[in-house]
Amino acid sequence: MTLYDFLKQENTDFDSYDTVFDIEVTVCVPYHSEDSNYEYYDKFCDFILKCVSGVEKISDCECRANWYSFVAINLEVFKEIANDMWREGSIPDDDDDLIYEWIEEINGWIAGGVSENEYKHFMETYANRIKEDN
């Protein structure tokens, strides 16, 4: 089951925890608009939630999800995105360190931490190359 499916079923927001690192990504019930006018932020969140699987409910508002696996199977694409969008010199050399940083980064993006233009750039440039973890 993907995070997207899990959140729709539970119909509430969750703190999701990675299965490898002790790191949290807060996720929200997918946004739905009657007129299908989704902002790129909404498209990004729905897209990411549909890619992450391995969901296990651990409490009323907490679950585990395979964030590590999702980033790991897409590591080459995430490296390219980091080279394109991150500050020069801020990209870790070690793959596990980069995966950890990307999980943190995704949490920030889901929290609204980047501009609408950055969501648009991600969705138009990289989304079609990201593989689902399921």
The position carrying tokens 């002790």 is 22
Report the domain count for the chain. Answer: 1
Question: Given this model, what pLDDT does residue 76 score?
Answer: 95
The mean pLDDT of 36-61, rounded to a whole number, is 90
With CA atoms as reference, report the closest residue to 28 among 2, 49, 51.
49
- Residue 95 amino acid letter: D
Question: Residue 118: inside a domain, yes or no?
Answer: yes
Residue 19 has pLDDT above 70, yes or no: yes
Residue 11 has pLDDT above 90, yes or no: no
Question: Residue 40: inside a domain, yes or no?
Answer: yes
Question: Given this model, what pLDDT does residue 115 score?
Answer: 95
pLDDT (tens digit, 9 = 90+) per residue, 77-95? Answer: 999 999 998 888 788 999 9
Question: Given this model, what pLDDT does residue 32 score?
Answer: 67
Question: Residue 134: inside a domain, yes or no?
Answer: no
CA separation, residue 50 to residues 6, 31, 53, 56, 132 (Å)? 10, 13, 8, 15, 7
pTM: 0.90
> Are the beta carbons of 4 and 50 closer than 8 angstroms?
yes
Question: Given this model, what pLDDT does residue 117 score?
Answer: 95
CA separation, residue 58 to residues 29, 65, 85 (Å)? 17, 11, 34
Question: Residue 98: inside a domain, yes or no?
Answer: yes
Domain limits for position 97: 3-129
Cα four-point dihedral sign 32, 34, 35, 36: positive
Question: Residue 80: inside a domain, yes or no?
Answer: yes
Question: Residue 58: inside a domain, yes or no?
Answer: yes
Residue 107 has pLDDT above 70, yes or no: yes
CA distance 60 to 37: 31
